Chains A and B, each alone.
Chain A
């Protein structure tokens, strides 16, 4: 027990090392995933330094385990953006181990009111993305009041110019293809499908099973086979970063049946892309697939 006290004493006497010495000091921001990090970086401009923890396409966020480096990154941050809804449970643990009254945490699930067990892929919901954007700017202004005017200007630029193409593609697809029956490989597509007004026919239990990495039921598989073979769905959307044998088999079936397929990914693809460029590219290929289906 004496050792414990000794260790505690060491810690209290230790000054913070390695913090930025340049002035003005940038706000250190950490996002659990790079899609939120990309938005946070663009909203903060030169006043923030953003680090995203999950930033590689070959990392599966569902099974991610943080490294010591991640723990250090989170521990040094003044603003942390976490997805929540059970998507990144390691993040609150790292935060709990490093109490910091000066730190602000944005949990997307709490902000948009989705509880654990709900669909965690909120960055595929344009409405929720807008809420997150507003909250990040509000938090930046609270954490760094001196640069509030700059943050407000960056917010306007991002929501009008930055997201222009993303917003217009969504409006365009909704106007032309609302009500079109589509199939998907997992629940990641569900929020976007809702926003686009598409009719997602795939059983929700299958979408959730693939997304969570559990085994889909035989009944669901049979239902999807019937949807594909009967041409009930016009387009099949699958997550290329989470392609299980079940999904691969369905993609093949859809291609054999002449149903256009298109991909979406869990995280930024390519990883150097921005949120809006990544989403816009996916929306364009979805639009092309829908157009192809409409011609046949």
Chain B
């Protein structure tokens, strides 16, 4: 049933029908324990922030922030720093630049909207070009460029897990304090502003947090596959339920589930983690679409 190359992964490793033994194998090595710790933390942060991103229709900004992580990581490698610092610095800077562009509003759609997406597109092109420059400047053997773009879970140290936990804690804390107002400002900015909610400041703060979440997710899924954790779980959750609290919780659960499944699949095969996380997320999204379409059809 299982292809031979799935089982041929070295001494004593391979899938069999004993689930307990499979699970024990999964946590046999410290590097896999770290991968699960890091993956869980990243999935929680991405599931939370991604939910607001999809709600606010800022997916393009989120993608650009993730792409900004690529020159960040490449630049950090170039000057001999840990790529994690490059991810956070560049994703944060990208968020600040995008925040400086006036946000499109319902009612003022025409010019404002096209200007925003054009500016974000410009930032994305510059980010990719910078990343390519840093890679070219790096004399020596830059391997791991695939890992920067498409993700890796090998080689995560205890210290890196610590950084991911600290940043995720900031994200969770910020949402716990300002999440309710952010939700209000996202759903109906005009009414929220009239009621005294600082809509513009919240938007800027949200972009910064989104930059950090993109930086976190980039370290597992790579810069190009960040949407696997930032968009897919949130879009699936919003498809399944309209109640905000349940939808946010579902987004986090889906993000964590696809990450765990992706890690397990990548562990037992020789194929990349980014592919598995994305594919499991896509499967969840497709199932949600089919399920809600059927339900909707019956009601109509």
Contact = CB atoms under 8 A, between A and B. Distances in A.
Most buried by A among B24, B141, B269: B141
Given A96-B155, A214-B136, A89 B141 contact: yes
Contact of B141 (A63, A70, A75, A99): A63
B266 interface: yes
Interface stretch (A6-14, A142-150, A194-202, A232-240): A6-14
A71 B155 contact: yes
Contact of A69 (B37, B156, B270): B270
B29 A71 contact: yes
Interface in A60-77: 62-73, 75-76
A68 B267 contact: yes
A135 interface: no
B27 A68 contact: no
B154 A11 contact: no
Contact of A65 (B143, B156, B256): B143
Interface string B9-21: 1111100000001
Given A14-B24, A117-B140, A214-B136, A98 B30 contact: yes
B30 A99 contact: yes
A169 to B, nearest CB: 30
A87 interface: yes
B155 A14 contact: no
Contacts of B37: 4, 7-8
B144 interface: yes
Given A1-B165, A69-B270, A96-B157, A75 B31 contact: yes
A67 B5 CA distance: 13
B161 to A, nearest CB: 8
A73 B8 CA distance: 13
A93 to B, nearest CB: 3
Contacts of A212: 139-141
Contacts of A1: 165, 169
Contact of B28 (A8, A16, A117): A16
Given A18-B12, A214-B136, A65 B30 contact: no
B139 A89 contact: no
Contact of B157 (A10, A18, A89, A97): A97
Interface residues of A, number: 43
B172 to A, nearest CB: 9
A94 to B, nearest CB: 5
Contacts of A62: 141, 143
A22 to B, nearest CB: 12
A122 to B, nearest CB: 15
Contacts of A71: 29, 31, 154-155
A116 interface: yes
Contact of B143 (A63, A75, A94, A98): A63
Contact of B13 (A14, A72, A94, A98): A72
B147 interface: yes
A58 to B, nearest CB: 16
B52 interface: no
Given A4-B40, A4-B41, A97-B155, A68 B266 contact: yes
A158 interface: no
Nearest to B33: A11
Q: Which of B24, B256, B266 has the largest count of A CB atoms less than 10 A from its CB?
A: B24
Interface in A1-46: 1, 3-4, 7-8, 10-11, 14, 16-19
A117 B78 CA distance: 12
Nearest to A120: B141
A62 to B, nearest CB: 4
A90 interface: yes
Contacts of B141: 62-63, 86-87, 89, 120, 212-213
13 contacts: A7-B33, A18-B13, A62-B143, A63-B141, A63-B145, A69-B10, A69-B270, A71-B155, A86-B140, A89-B141, A90-B154, A97-B157, A208-B139
Closest 8 CB pairs of A and B: A18-B12, A93-B155, A97-B31, A11-B33, A62-B141, A86-B140, A75-B29, A71-B154
Given A212-B139, A213-B141, A214-B136, 6 more contacts: A1-B165, A11-B27, A68-B270, A69-B9, A98-B30, A116-B140
